[in-house]
């Protein structure tokens, strides 16, 4: 199936631990994103990568480190997890061109992170 | 910066029509998106407007007025499965991401 996929779907961990979330898209898109959706359902951009290069970093603590090994993958590593990191993290992708038409973002199923 | 406003909750009955409004103030504008998000699921694309006017897609239509910084999503012949959160999102020019509103939770009752 063509889609944006994320693993794991659920992640429960203790404060202070380090964890990673993986994202893959097989839509052939060149841009990928990480969003955080908090308990009030507010969806906020964290990072954006275009062709493996970071183009947007929205004031996210440096405990969060995205990595894009190739343009189909964007992983998110989180160090020293805190209670406030509990949220649903969504990966998304789109086909973008500088100055070109705006294209739709397609979202993965989300990873629900619970920090105890 | 971007500021996007939409009502927090709305209720409607099956078969009815509902209009969800979105107002925005932005430093630049390159289109407005509407997404639907069912509880526990990913947002899914509904519509996109970049020029003024109405875009119709089956039971769903979206309207944009750039001069007023205003959009609405119109849902006709409501079905129970339309109960979801509806997210308005604005995109600025250039390489940029979407800025989402806080979403409108729509509850459709029998």
Write out pLDDT tens, residues A4-63.
Answer: 999 999 999 999 999 999 999 999 888 999 999 998 888 999 999 888 888 877 778 999
**Confidence category of residue A100, pLDDT binned at 50, 70, 90:** low
**Confidence category of residue A103, pLDDT binned at 50, 70, 90:** confident
Rounded CA-CA distance B93/B71 in Å is: 18
Nearest CA in chain B to A101: B30
Burial class (CB in 10 A: 0-12, 13-18, 19+), B91: buried
Is any Cβ of chain B less than 8 angstroms from the Cβ of A107?
yes
Is any Cβ of chain B less than 8 angstroms from the Cβ of A15?
no
What pLDDT is stored for residue A39 in this prediction? 85
Closest CA to A37 of A114, A110, A116, A94: A110
For tokens 């239509």, what's the residue?
B61
Write out pLDDT tens, residues B12-65.
Answer: 999 999 999 999 998 888 899 999 999 999 999 999 999 999 999 899 999 999
Query: Who's near B79: CB < 8 A, 6+ residues apart?
Result: B14, B108
Q: Which of B95, B99, B105 sits opposite A55 (nearest CB)?
A: B95
DSSP single-letter state for residue A84: G
What pLDDT is stored for residue B1 in this prediction? 64
């Amino acid at each position: 199936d063509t889609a944006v996929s994320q693993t794991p779907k659920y992640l429960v961990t203790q404060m202070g631990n380090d964890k990673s979330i993986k994202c893959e898209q097989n839509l052939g898109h060149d841009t990928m994103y990480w969003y955080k959706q908090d308990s009030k359902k507010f969806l906020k951009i964290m990072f954006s990568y275009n062709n493996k290069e970071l183009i947007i970093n929205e004031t996210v603590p440096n405990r969060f480190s995205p990595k894009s090994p190739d343009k189909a993958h964007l992983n998110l590593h989180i160090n020293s997890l805190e209670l406030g990191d509990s949220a649903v993290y969504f990966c998304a992708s789109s086909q973008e061109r500088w100055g070109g038409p705006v294209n739709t973002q397609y979202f993965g199923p989300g990873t629900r992170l619970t920090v105890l | 910066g971007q500021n996007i406003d939409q009502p927090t909750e709305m209720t409607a009955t099956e078969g009815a029509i509902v209009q969800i409004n979105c107002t925005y103030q932005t430093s630049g504008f390159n289109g407005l998106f509407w997404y639907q998000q069912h509880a526990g699921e990913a947002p899914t694309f509904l519509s996109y407007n970049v020029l003024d006017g109405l875009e119709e897609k089956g039971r769903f239509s979206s309207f944009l007025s750039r001069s007023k910084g205003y959009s609405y999503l119109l849902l006709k012949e409501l079905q129970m499965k339309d109960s979801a959160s509806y997210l308005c999102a604005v995109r600025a020019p250039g390489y940029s991401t979407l800025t989402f509103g806080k979403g409108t939770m729509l509850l459709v009752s029998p």
